[in-house]
Amino acid sequence: MNHTFQTPFQSPTNERVVGRQIALFAAFVLPAAKLLEAPSILAKYAAGDLLLPALLHFLLQAGLLAVILYVVSRSETPLFERLQRVLKKGVIVVYLFYAAYFLFAVLLPILDLEKYAYAAFFDTAPTTFSFLFFFFLSAFICAKGIKAVGRFADISLFLFLLSFFALMALSLTETDFTHLLPLFGTKFERTMSAFKYTTPHFSDAVLLLPLLGNYQYKKKDAPKILFGYGIGALCTLFFLAVFYGIFSSVAPREHYAFSKIAQYFPALSVIGRIDLLFVYLLSIVLFFYTALPAQYATHLFSRSFSLERKAIVSAVLNVALFLFVFFCNKYYNAFYRVVGGKLVWVFWLFADVLPLLLLLLPNGKPRPAAPSAKEKSHA
């Protein structure tokens, strides 16, 4: 690829992810963030109808993902290269805005992860710097190329499926799905409040955009990726149904949902908390997911300022994130009200509205038409 059109997620070795990895990422990495705090928030506002706002989120994000895949599929020229051809040097402004967006988007997940890690991994009160290990892991991930995301997507197939279905199997014996009845028993305004306040947990399509930016589309990749996203959505909806089926009216108080959902399995009193093994496996996926927006921000800042050493940018960003968590974790509730309430428009603008403008991009080099049956017969 011409150096003039070097893009934020392009490396000297021209690393890319493939369609299979994007589909696996959509199916088994994206759901991880929705199994922590989102269930209790959905239950708080929508009660037994918590599946409805989640379904609305998934339909919206699937539509946005379909639009992005359509834009990618109609040209052989990668998406980011087409964007740079149109905006020229002005594309740096887009990169900086989205770098800032991804940094903003990672703040709430990091606070959630810290609160969860202290509750799930420590039997006694943790030390002040117990969560510091995450930032070393995050700094390492941020300095890696985009191909590392694809490799982790492959690994997540095992990590997510084993842990998720094991936790579901342990939970079903205590689940009463009649707690979800009557359907549509919650006022529509409360359902939309649940939709609004969980927007930060469901802004998925924009997280797939960097993976699709340098991606070389192949025939039938779009249905494969959308199918993967559908699998992730079904897993999340099933989890929400089981979660409310167990906790019912106390569900709004049950934070860090996936770490608690299997604890009432009768045999655990005899064999011990084997459910924690699966909780820890799923936590690996959650750790990677949480670091992902910071990785995107690292690449975008590095490209915007023509910095060759992403490791330095990664270190600076992760030190800043550590300081944010260290000083702001005590104000979590107020912070969530601001991000999920007053600033929710930031997610709607950057994750839902602006990606639609990609439809205005010229096609670049057109994708060759498939040969007709007559042409094949003469071949």
Give this prediction's pTM. Answer: 0.90
Query: For residue 373, what pLDDT band results from cuts at 50, 70 and 90?
Result: low
| CATH of segment(s) 20-366 | 1.20.1740
Segment 309-360, tens digit of pLDDT: 889 999 999 999 999 998 988 888 888 889 988 999 999 999 999 999 999 9
Instruction: Give the residue with greater pLDDT, 16 vs 294.
Output: 294
Segment 236-251, tens digit of pLDDT: 999 999 999 999 989 9
Phi, psi at 6, each rounded to 5°: -65, 130
Whether 202 and 38 have beta carbons less than 8 Å apart is answered as yes
pLDDT at 59 over 80: yes
Q: Output the pLDDT for position 14.
A: 54
181-190, 270-279, 317-326, 367-376: the lowest-pLDDT one: 367-376
117-129: average pLDDT: 74
Instruction: Give the residue with greater pLDDT, 64 vs 11.
Output: 64
Query: For residue 368, what pLDDT band results from cuts at 50, 70 and 90?
Result: low
Q: How far apart are CA 379 and CA 373, in angstroms?
A: 10
pLDDT, averaged across the chain: 88
SS3 75: strand
Query: For residue 200, what pLDDT band results from cuts at 50, 70 and 90?
Result: very high
Q: How far apart are CA 171 and CA 169, in angstroms?
A: 5
Whether 344 and 328 have beta carbons less than 8 Å apart is answered as no
What are the residue boundaries of the structural domains of the chain, listed by start?
Answer: 20-366
Question: Residue 254: which of 269, 266, 239, 268 has the closest Cα?
Answer: 239
Q: How far apart are CA 38 and CA 195, in angstroms?
A: 10
Whether 29 and 285 have beta carbons less than 8 Å apart is answered as yes
